[in-house]
């Protein structure tokens, strides 16, 4: 028995020894990139940061600090975050600090703001953290970067340093300040006094005469109590000797941090490598003492902070928050192409904490405009890609807020965008869905500005505001000045403007500062806010005038008419009237809350969930509305609103309406599957009906898509057709009229039998909302004729009114129109009351009409109708028209175009909107387009277009809403003309909010007979190091394309083929098609090629194999580089007839060698070298090739010209 146990132990030890050493790092808590770093670390210290599982959100902090002003809130937020982190980090910190004694851990830095701990540790410590600490969510590698990767100045400060281009003062004021009108602000007495700015950069020469007076002094380290931590010693500025004591006087974990901190080198003097940081500091606060005025806010104070890696950047942000900064700015940024890629979620978490503390953040956004390394939507770098504190009205896709204003770069001389300035938008979404190698999972709350994952979505508009970068001047180390550029130069201008605004009005919240800067910006680029200039180029003077306007302490009036007007299974619609506020611009922000329990006071209001409101509040008295989505079914909700003005005044809580969502819908289909056999060249149509068959009130919100589709593009299309309720009857009495739930189709639809389609302004490619009010210029409709016994403005019509041109409607020429008091336009006078709206189309009267809003309307007590011809358009406008029994207020407009297009604009639709018909119907009543029937569709500021002109329906995704008892037909059209024959399949999927059947799948199959692809020619030809293949086909069917396969060696032996490329096929064709493919940069040798022709269904066949040889060149040669001149990349080619020892060198015109490109053995063949000369200055250079073969030495030189 004893021997058995010994054997068992030995076996166990053997098994352990067989486990790979690296397996210990394969812990899901250790990020994959960090695992690889640990494996190759040789047991050295590795930079790591640990993200703890729990952290406070922006809303958590808002709810805890809602009743505090900005500066008081900042102090409370800091204390809350410190206390929260202290509790959750204690065990981890104890472990790390214990390991510092044996050197396994160094430089432990708690980032309490986001509950992260940064440190350097040996691999075994990282493994223990992952295995033994449940509170840790993830461990990440925290690399250091080359500082020139982080800066966004187009390399100009590096160039200035290398060429000693620091000069004395050459101008009184740098041109960027003149462009943004900063001197006009100074003339009014505002220069940033009292404002603290934190600058995260490469350090700064804080002894510069223009900067030293404005360097922030950390009085928490003022050991001698003289009110300063730096002083003039008679020849230069120095740290106050009376304060240097090696003690952490302010208890922040940093010793003698008199003016900030150098996190890169972990010391108290953030001045090393400071050319770039000196320039950004100078644009914020440079006072011109040495000759040139560079700073926007020359009396603000600035904290100097020097980070490098991501955790150091977050530590710098934390320091600034802790020390009371009002504004933070950085011209460092983290790019998409970094390795590892930026941790976008943690950057946003950190900027959220800044906003919670009332801190505004301006940041550079890269100079990667047009770069393939950071393509849109990742052209904007972090953290400039984070949301701002205020949502611009053009940002109609509304998500969360944060603290950041991202900069765009204009030239200080021309005021035009610089080509390298980056392009938005940025996608806050599940990035891994389209980019699976991205290492960080995006939290659900940050998937609020989708772009790639949601077709047609706009993402987050970035940048936010433009400012001068290129052509500016700023301070340089040593007391002089230097040229500056890029978004690095633009960003501190924005920070300086923010400091001016907070100096004149210290109570401004970050949202107000952002709103003022964006709304007063000089319009540039597209109207409004766009993804190039943002909201325009900043104007310091206009922003100052708005911020300095007469400030009051009177809050906006209370909202008293908040109402829930429309209901769905997962949504409720709110209406209210915009309140009055006496401040400039009126109400600035709505704070809308939702709760499952009553909201009765401030405590319950701020503990309720916040809802984002799209755009800016309208003018006082205007109707406002909001559709609240993603609600639980059959659940009661309470709503309340408070309004804020730009001065931070907050209104009383509104009235608190309550309602319950509808119950669950039940989706049903009349077909379980579709199967068709079709002869080639024919078209077939099939229809599937989708219904909501729930017994009680419900709304089925659905999306139809074709998935798992093996059909060639264009062979199948579909459209949604509203299905008429056959039980529909018109009511005989207005008082007995019943409104039944109906259906609406989202965004676009059609065509009908005639060819009309519709699209609205919510769709990509849809019409723009443009309101041309004619209530003051048009002719009032004053003569109304009754259709029964009611008042004619209740049940009657006006007209006919002449268009003044011919208007073709369903193929018939119309020259005049009648207006029904119930909303529609008709081409024949109605003969009966129309108080009950009907579905479209219907043979019952009325027929031949256009309906923006057909309901039981009544203009007896208020409202007007005006009409006006303007050129080739005819406008009819209902203004403040009411519904039956004098309820609501409706303002909408028809625009009839001579070309046949019909536009409808909804301005203020303040009433119940789910009892109307929207659409058009033919004069016979047999054709038409129904957009909505007794369903939620109509909204304020919506444009709707009907036209029989071009095809807008460019995708196979449609959606809509079905109330209980309603149906929609999905019409599938199979067109086999000129398409390949074979067996095809796809799934028609209906995704909906039916909790039992969220995805209804209807398989669709079709069969057509097959015709093969006929290959008629295949040749291969060698040209130096390239091989070009040419081939042709006589006919093609179902041809996805050709995979080109290559094998090296003699064709007589066994060949091992690999893929060299792919060429797209022509699908199906009866004509001759010619193809070509070039295989480049091959070594000397013999090659074999074949084509792998692949069908759409995956079947394939091979062509015959052809052989071609790349022969060695006969002589040595060195060719002229191309392009030449160049900037900064060029290619140098040369030939080697035999294996040789090769050196390739570059010399300047003084004969000095500046770089050695190649030094080693190379095989015979055609060689090339791609030179990147970004580190060289402009000028003429000589490159020399030396090659030593078996019996010969070759040398040759050529010139090349670098122009930057």
If one counts every other C-beta atom within 10 angstroms of the C-beta of residue 616, the result is 18
Sign of torsion, CA 728 567 573 704? negative
Q: What angle do CA 907, 908, 910 make, to 5 degrees?
A: 150
Using DSSP bridges, classify how beta strands 404-410 and 360-363 pair: parallel, antiparallel or unpaired.
parallel
Instruction: Specify the CATH number of the domain 667-724+971-1006.
Output: 2.60.40
pLDDT score at 894 = 96
Which parts of the chain register pLDDT below 70? 1-22, 274, 584, 614-615, 678-684, 709-747, 764-765, 949-958, 974-982, 1008-1013, 1050-1054
Within 142-279, strands assigned E span: 196-200, 230-232, 237-239, 260-262
Alpha helix stretches (DSSP H) within 588-704: 602-607
What's the DSSP call for residue 417? B
Over residues 1053-1112, the pLDDT tens digits come to 667 889 999 999 988 877 888 999 999 888 888 899 999 988 887 777 888 889 998 888
Q: Which fold has domain 147-216+259-547?
A: Rossmann fold (3.40.50)
Q: Round to the nearest angstrom and report the end-to-end CA distance of the chain.
A: 83
pTM score over 0.75: no
pLDDT score at 206 = 97
- The Cα 935–Cα 931 span in angstroms is 10
State the DSSP H helix or E strand holding residue 353, giving kind and residue range, or none if neither: helix 344-356
Within 884-997, strands assigned E span: 887-897, 902-910, 917-921, 928-933, 942-947, 957-963, 967-975, 982-992
Sign of torsion, CA 269 274 276 280? positive
pLDDT score at 6 = 31
Backbone angles phi, psi at 395, to 5 degrees: -85, 80
Instruction: Report domain extents, the chain.
Output: 2-141, 147-216+259-547, 563-660, 667-724+971-1006, 751-952, 1014-1110, 1117-1202
State the DSSP H helix or E strand holding residue 501, giving kind and residue range, or none if neither: helix 486-504
CA distances for 928 relative to 728, 730, 750, 751, 755, angstroms: 17, 19, 9, 9, 10
Q: What angle do CA 405, 407, 411 make, to 5 degrees?
A: 155
Same-fold call for 147-216+259-547 versus 1014-1110: no
pLDDT score at 1009 = 54
pLDDT score at 14 = 33
Report how far Cα 676 is from the mean position of its chain's Cα atoms. Answer: 43
Q: Which fold has domain 563-660?
A: Immunoglobulin-like (2.60.40)
pLDDT score at 721 = 64
pLDDT score at 450 = 94
- The Cα 865–Cα 882 span in angstroms is 12
- The Cα 3–Cα 8 span in angstroms is 9
Q: Please tell me whether the peptide bond between 463 and the residue prior to it is cis, using omega within 30 degrees of 0.
A: yes
Burial label, 1170 (beta-carbon count in 10 A; 0-12, 13-18, 19+): exposed
Does residue 711 sit in helix, strand or coil? coil
pLDDT score at 718 = 60
Structure token digits, residue 1064: 């797209």
- The Cα 143–Cα 46 span in angstroms is 9
CA atoms within 13 A on the CB side of 170: 13
Burial label, 332 (beta-carbon count in 10 A; 0-12, 13-18, 19+): buried
pLDDT score at 899 = 75
- The Cα 105–Cα 121 span in angstroms is 4
Q: Which of 974, 1037, 977, 979 is nearest to 1005 (CA)?
A: 974
Q: Which fold has domain 1117-1202?
A: Immunoglobulin-like (2.60.40)
Q: Which fold has domain 1014-1110?
A: Immunoglobulin-like (2.60.40)
- The Cα 612–Cα 395 span in angstroms is 12
Over residues 577-623, the pLDDT tens digits come to 999 998 867 888 899 999 999 999 999 999 898 887 766 788 898 88
């Amino acid at each position: 028995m004893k021997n058995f146990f010994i054997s068992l132990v030995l076996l166990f030890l053997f098994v352990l020894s067989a486990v790979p050493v690296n397996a210990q790092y394969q812990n899901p808590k250790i990020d994959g990139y960090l695992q690889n770093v640990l494996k190759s670390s040789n047991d050295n210290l590795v930079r790591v940061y640990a993200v703890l599982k729990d952290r406070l959100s922006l809303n958590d902090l808002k709810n805890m600090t809602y009743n505090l002003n900005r500066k008081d809130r900042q102090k409370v937020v800091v204390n809350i975050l410190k206390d929260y982190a202290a509790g959750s980090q204690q065990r981890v910190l104890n472990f790390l600090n214990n390991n510092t004694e044996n050197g396994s851990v160094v430089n432990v830095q708690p980032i309490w703001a986001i509950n992260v701990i940064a440190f350097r540790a040996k691999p075994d410590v990282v493994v223990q953290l992952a295995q033994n600490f449940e509170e840790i969510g993830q461990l990440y590698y925290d690399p250091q970067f080359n500082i020139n990767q982080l800066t966004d100045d187009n390399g100009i400060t590096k160039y200035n340093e290398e060429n000693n281009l620091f000069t004395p003062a050459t101008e009184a004021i740098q041109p960027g300040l003149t462009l943004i009108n900063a001197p006009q602000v100074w003339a009014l007495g505002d220069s940033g006094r009292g404002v603290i700015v934190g600058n995260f950069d490469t350090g700064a020469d804080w002894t510069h005469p223009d900067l030293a007076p404005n360097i922030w002094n950390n009085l928490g380290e003022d050991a001698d109590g003289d009110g300063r931590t730096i002083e003039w010693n008679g020849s230069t500025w120095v740290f106050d000797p009376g304060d240097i004591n090696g003690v952490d006087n302010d208890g922040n974990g940093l010793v003698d941090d008199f003016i900030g901190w150098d996190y890169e080198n972990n010391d108290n003097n953030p001045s090393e490598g400071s050319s770039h940081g000196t320039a950004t500091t100078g644009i914020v606060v440079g006072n011109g003492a040495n000759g040139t005025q560079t700073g926007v806010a020359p009396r603000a104070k600035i904290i100097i902070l020097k980070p490098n890696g991501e955790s150091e950047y977050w530590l710098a942000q934390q320091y600034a928050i802790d020390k009371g900064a009002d504004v933070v700015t950085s011209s460092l940024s983290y790019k998409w192409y970094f390795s590892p890629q930026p941790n976008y979620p943690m950057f946003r978490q950190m900027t959220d904490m800044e906003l919670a503390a009332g801190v505004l953040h301006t940041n550079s956004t890269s100079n990667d405009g047009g770069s393939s390394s950071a393509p849109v939507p990742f052209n904007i770098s972090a953290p400039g890609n984070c949301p701002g504190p205020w949502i611009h009205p053009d940002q109609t896709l509304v998500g969360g807020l944060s603290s950041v204003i991202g900069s765009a770069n204009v030239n200080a001389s021309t005021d035009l965008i610089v080509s390298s300035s980056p392009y938005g938008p940025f996608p806050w979404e599940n990035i891994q869905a389209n980019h699976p190698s991205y290492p960080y999972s995006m939290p659900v709350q940050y998937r609020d500005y989708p772009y790639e994952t949601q077709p047609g979505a706009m993402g987050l508009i970035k940048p936010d505001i433009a400012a001068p970068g290129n052509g500016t001047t700023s301070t340089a180390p040593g007391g002089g000045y230097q040229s500056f550029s890029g978004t690095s130069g633009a960003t501190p201008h924005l920070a300086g403007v923010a400091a001016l605004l907070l100096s004149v009005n210290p109570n401004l919240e970050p949202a107000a500062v952002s709103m003022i800067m964006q709304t007063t910006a000089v319009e540039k680029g597209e109207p409004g806010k766009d993804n190039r200039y943002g909201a325009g180029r900043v104007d310091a003077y206009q922003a100052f005038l708005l911020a300095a306007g007469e400030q009051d302490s009177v809050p906006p009036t209370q909202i008293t008419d908040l109402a829930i007007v429309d209901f769905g299974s997962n949504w409720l619609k709110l209406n209210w009237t915009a309140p009055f506020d006496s401040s400039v611009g009126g109400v600035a922000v709505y704070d809308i809350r939702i709760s499952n329990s009553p909201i009765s006071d401030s405590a319950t209001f701020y503990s309720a969930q916040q809802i984002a409101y799209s755009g800016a509040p309208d003018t006082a008295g205007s109707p406002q509305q909001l559709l609240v989505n993603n609600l639980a079914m059959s659940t009661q909700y309470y709503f309340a609103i408070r309004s804020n003005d730009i001065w931070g005044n907050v209104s009383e809580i509104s009235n608190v309406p309550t309602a319950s969502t509808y119950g669950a819908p039940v989706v049903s289909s009349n077909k379980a599957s579709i199967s068709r056999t079709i002869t080639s060249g024919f078209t077939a149509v099939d229809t599937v009906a989708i219904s909501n068959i729930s017994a009680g009130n419900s709304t089925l919100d659905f999306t139809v898509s074709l998935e798992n589709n093996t059909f060639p593009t264009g062979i199948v299309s579909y459209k949604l057709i509203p299905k008429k309720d056959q039980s529909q009857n018109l009511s005989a009495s207005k008082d007995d009229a019943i409104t039944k739930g109906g259906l609406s189709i989202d965004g676009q639809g059609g065509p009908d039998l005639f060819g009309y389609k519709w699209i609205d302004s919510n769709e990509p490619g849809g019409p723009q909302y443009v309101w041309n009010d004619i209530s003051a210029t048009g002719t009032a409709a004053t003569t109304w004729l009754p259709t029964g016994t009611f008042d004619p403005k209740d049940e009657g019509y006006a007209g006919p009114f002449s268009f003044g041109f011919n208007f073709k409607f369903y193929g018939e020429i119309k020259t005049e129109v009648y207006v029904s008091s119930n909303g529609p336009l008709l081409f024949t006078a109605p003969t009966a009351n129309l108080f009950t709206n009907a579905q479209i189309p219907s043979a019952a009267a009325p027929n031949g009409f256009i309906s923006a809003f057909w309901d039981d309307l009544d203009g007896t007590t208020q409202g007007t109708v005006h009409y006006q011809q303007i050129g080739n358009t005819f406008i009819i406008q209902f203004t403040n028209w009411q519904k039956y029994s004098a309820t609501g207020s409706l303002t909408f407009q028809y625009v009839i175009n001579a070309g046949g297009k019909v536009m409808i604009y909804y301005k203020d639709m303040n009433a119940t909107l789910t009892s109307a018909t929207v659409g058009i119907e033919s004069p016979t009543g047999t054709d038409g387009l129904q957009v909505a029937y007794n369903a939620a569709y109509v909204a304020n500021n919506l444009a709707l277009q009907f036209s029989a002109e071009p095809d807008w329906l460019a995708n196979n995704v449609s959606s809509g809403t079905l109330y209980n008892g309603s149906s929609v037909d999905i019409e599938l059209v199979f067109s086999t003309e000129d398409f390949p024959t074979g067996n095809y399949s796809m799934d028609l999927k209906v995704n909906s909010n039916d909790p039992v059947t969220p995805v209804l799948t209807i398989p669709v199959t079709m069969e057509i007979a097959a015709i093969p692809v006929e290959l008629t020619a295949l040749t291969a030809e060698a040209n130096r190091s390239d091989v070009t293949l040419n081939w042709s086909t006589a006919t093609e069917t179902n041809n996805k394309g050709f995979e080109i396969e290559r094998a090296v060696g003699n064709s007589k032996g066994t060949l091992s083929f690999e893929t060299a490329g792919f060429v797209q096929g022509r699908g199906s064709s009866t004509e001759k098609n010619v193809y070509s493919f070039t295989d480049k940069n091959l070594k000397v040798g013999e090659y074999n090629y074949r084509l792998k022709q692949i069908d759409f269904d995956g079947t394939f066949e091979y062509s015959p194999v052809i052989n071609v040889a790349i022969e060695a060149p006969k002589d040595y040669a060195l060719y002229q580089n191309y392009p030449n001149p160049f900037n900064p990349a060029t290619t140098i080619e040369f030939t080697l007839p035999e294996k040789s020892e090769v050196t390739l060198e570059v010399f300047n015109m003084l004969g000095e060698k500046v770089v050695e490109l190649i030094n080693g053995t190379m095989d015979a063949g055609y060689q090339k070298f791609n030179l990147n000369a970004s580190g060289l200055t402009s000028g003429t250079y000589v490159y020399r090739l030396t090659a030593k073969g078996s019996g010969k030495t070759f040398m040759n030189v050529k010139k090349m010209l670098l122009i930057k």
